[in-house]
Chains A and B, each alone.
Chain A
Amino acid sequence: MFDDLRDLYQEVILDHGRRPRNFRRLEDADRTARGDNPMCGDRLELFLKLAPDGSIADAAFQGRGCAISTASASLLTETVKGKSAEQAHALSDHFRALAMTGACPDCGEALSEEMERLQPLSGVHEFPSRVKCATLAWHTLNAALDGVKEASSE
C-alpha cells in the first residue's frame, strides 16, 4: 500500500524523526530563534553557540513536529556545526533548492559532503504540501543567524 513512500520516508528520515540528534536546549546559546508552521502547528526552537571567530560551535533544537520537520532539524544541527555564518547561509540556500526541486545544480563542490548527508530529504519535492515541513528548520537557522527571533514557514 505504501511501497513508493520509501522515496520520502527513507530510513535516515524515520530514524532522525524518531530519535532526533542534538534535541536539547543550549543554555549558553548566543543565538536562538523560533520557527512556526501555522498550518500544522509545528514549532521549533533553534539554539546556536558561536566560537570566537563567529563560526557555529554547537547547534541544538527543541520542539514538536512531523517526521520530516524533525529529521530536517536534526540533520541541520549536525551539518552546520563548524560552519561560518556565510557557509551556513549558503547551505540553507542549497538545501531549500534541494527540497523544492529535488536537485541543486548550482550548488558546486564547496559543501558537497553536507549536501550528500541532506540528500535523503530531497524526496520531499514531490510532495508540495510537505516542502514547508522540511524547510522550517532552515528558515529558523537564517533567522537565528540574522538575529531575528521568529521565523515562519508561511
Chain B
Amino acid sequence: MSFDVARIRRDFPILQRKIRGKPLVFLDSGASAQKPRQVIEAMVHCMEERYANVHRGAYFLSEAATEAYEAARGAVARFIHAGDPREVIFTGNSTAAINLVAHSWGRGVLRPGQAVLISEMEHHANLVPWQMLRDEGRGIELRVARVTDAGELDLEDVAAKLADGKVGLVAITHMSNVLGTVTPAERLVQMAHAAGAKILFDGSQAAVHRPVDMQALGADFYAFTGHKLYGPTGIGVLWARLEHQERMPPFMGGGDMISMVTIDRVEWAPPPAKFEAGTPPIVEAVGLHAAIDYVSVIGMPAIEAHERRLVDHAMRRLSDIEGLDLLGRAQDRGGVFAFSLDKAHAHDLATLLDRAGIAVRAGRHCAEPLHARFGVEGGTVRASFGLYTTEGEVDYLAEALTKAREFFA
C-alpha cells in the first residue's frame, strides 16, 4: 500500500496541537516517539474494560487481562520473528533489558578472564551496565571497538579485539542514537560467533526504523523499548534464546517468578516468567501490542522506505547549510542527525528552534564518550525522525537553522 503520511499524522492527536502559536514540528522521536490514537484507546479500553492483575485470579477479569498480556508477548514475537513467544521477556525499557543481561548472564555465565566488547558509539544504557560489571572485581574486562571518522563501526578493530578468543559477549548498538549509523548486524553475529562469543544488540533505535528478524539475524540477545516504537513508556523487551534463559539466574526475586516457595527453598518459574518478578506492565503491554499492530498495518518495509527518502532529503538540505557540521556520515544510516552550527551552543540553538515550534534535543544524548571521540566539547543538537515526519518539516528545520545562524552571527 502507498505510504500516506498525511493520513498517518491524523492518527497522532499531539501532532494537531500548536506550540507557542506555531504548528508542532516534532523532531525528537529518537528520544521518545508520539503515540497514535489506536495505542491510547487500547490502553484506555484495557483499564475501562479488561483490567485486573495477571497470572493470579481465577476470575473473569484476571483471565481476560492475562490473555491480553500474553497476547502482547505473542505480538512482539511475531513482530521480531522470534522462534517462540517464550523468548520474549518484558522489562521496563531497553536499559532494564540490558541490565538484566549484564546482571544475570554477565554474573552467572561469564567467567573471570573473559571480556565484553562494546563500541565507542554506545548509548550509556549499553555502556554503564558493562562498566559496572567490569568494576566489580570479577576479572571481567571491557573492550571498546573504535568508530571511524565517518561514524561507522571499525570492523577491523572489532576483529582485532575478538582475535584472542577471550570475548564472551559482544554488546553493540544496531543503530546509533547520535550518528544514525546502522551497524552491519549479520556480519557482527558471524564475527562474534566465529570468535566463540555471544552477541547482544541494543535495538532501541533500529527496531523502530526497519524490520528486524530474530531468526534471520541469529543473535543471542536483542533489546528494544516500547516508547520509541509509538507505544507507551514503562515497557521494554529483551529477546533472549531459551537456552540462554535456562542458564541465567534470576535478576530480581519476587512474585510471579517462582514455581514453588518454602522458607527453606525456592524453585524458579520457567522462562520467561523467571525474569518477570512482580506485577508486570500490563496496560503498557496492551499499548505495545496496539503499537505493533499499528506499525504492522502500515508495514515496516514501507516505514523504512519513507524514512530512507527523508534521510536522503535531510542529507541534502542540511549539507547546504553553511557552518553546519554533521556528526557521522555513515553509508547505512537512519533518521537521526546530530550536528553543531558554527559557534552557536547547542542549548541556545534548541531554544531558538523551540520558538519556531521545532522540538529537538540538545546535549550529548547519553553518549558522552562518543562526543569526546569526535572532539565535541559541549553538545550537539539532534533532530530525529519518526514515521510521521515529513519532507516539509525537514525543509522548515533547514530554514530555521539558516535563520538561527544569522541570529547568533
Contact = CB atoms under 8 A, between A and B. Distances in A.
Interface string A52-78: 000000000000111110000000000
A66 B371 CA distance: 17
Contacts of B356: 1-2
B351 A127 contact: yes
A41 interface: yes
Contacts, number: 60
A42 B345 CA distance: 10
Given A2-B403, A68-B348, A130-B347, A41 B355 contact: no
B347 A40 contact: yes
B404 interface: yes
A40 B351 contact: no
B364 A9 contact: no
A8 B364 CA distance: 24
Contact of A2 (B345, B352, B368): B352
B348 A66 contact: yes
A30 B77 CA distance: 64
A129 B355 CA distance: 13
Given A2-B356, A64-B377, A41 B363 contact: yes
Given A1-B400, A9-B407, A40 B355 contact: no
B334 interface: no
A41 B348 contact: no
Contact of A40 (B20, B378, B400, B407): B378
Interface string A1-26: 11011001100001001000000000
B347 A5 contact: no
B362 interface: yes
Contacts of A42: 347, 378
Interface string A63-97: 01111100000000000000000000000000000
Contacts of A40: 345-347, 362-364, 378-379
A40 B368 CA distance: 10
B221 to A, nearest CB: 30
Contacts of B407: 2, 5, 9
Contacts of B379: 40-41
B355 A14 contact: no
A39 interface: yes
B361 to A, nearest CB: 11
A50 interface: no
Interface string A110-146: 0000000000000000010110010000000000000
B153 to A, nearest CB: 25
Contact of A133 (B347, B368, B371, B399): B347
A17 to B, nearest CB: 8
Interface string B327-348: 0000000000000000001111
B408 interface: yes
A41 B368 CA distance: 9
Interface centre among A14, A40, A129 (most CB of B within 10 A): A40
Tier of interface size on chain B: 20 to 34
A39 B364 CA distance: 8
B349 to A, nearest CB: 9
A2 B348 contact: no
Given A64-B377, A66-B345, A14 B352 contact: no
B368 to A, nearest CB: 8
B85 to A, nearest CB: 40
A64 B378 contact: yes
B404 A39 contact: no
Given A130-B347, A130-B351, A39 B400 contact: no
B352 A67 contact: no
Contacts of A5: 351-352, 355, 407
A12 to B, nearest CB: 15
A64 B363 CA distance: 14
Nearest to B399: A1
Contacts of A17: 348
Interface in B357-375: 362-364, 368, 371
Nearest to B396: A1
Contacts of B364: 40-41
A148 B348 CA distance: 29
B355 A67 contact: no
B346 A1 contact: no
Nearest to B400: A1
Interface string B106-148: 0000000000000000000000000000000000000000000
A127 B347 CA distance: 11
B347 A66 contact: yes
B348 A1 contact: no
Interface centre among A8, A42, A66, A130 (most CB of B within 10 A): A66
24 contacts: A1-B355, A1-B356, A2-B355, A2-B407, A4-B20, A8-B351, A9-B407, A17-B348, A40-B345, A40-B346, A40-B363, A40-B378, A41-B364, A41-B379, A42-B378, A64-B377, A65-B378, A66-B345, A66-B346, A67-B348, A67-B408, A127-B351, A129-B351, A130-B351
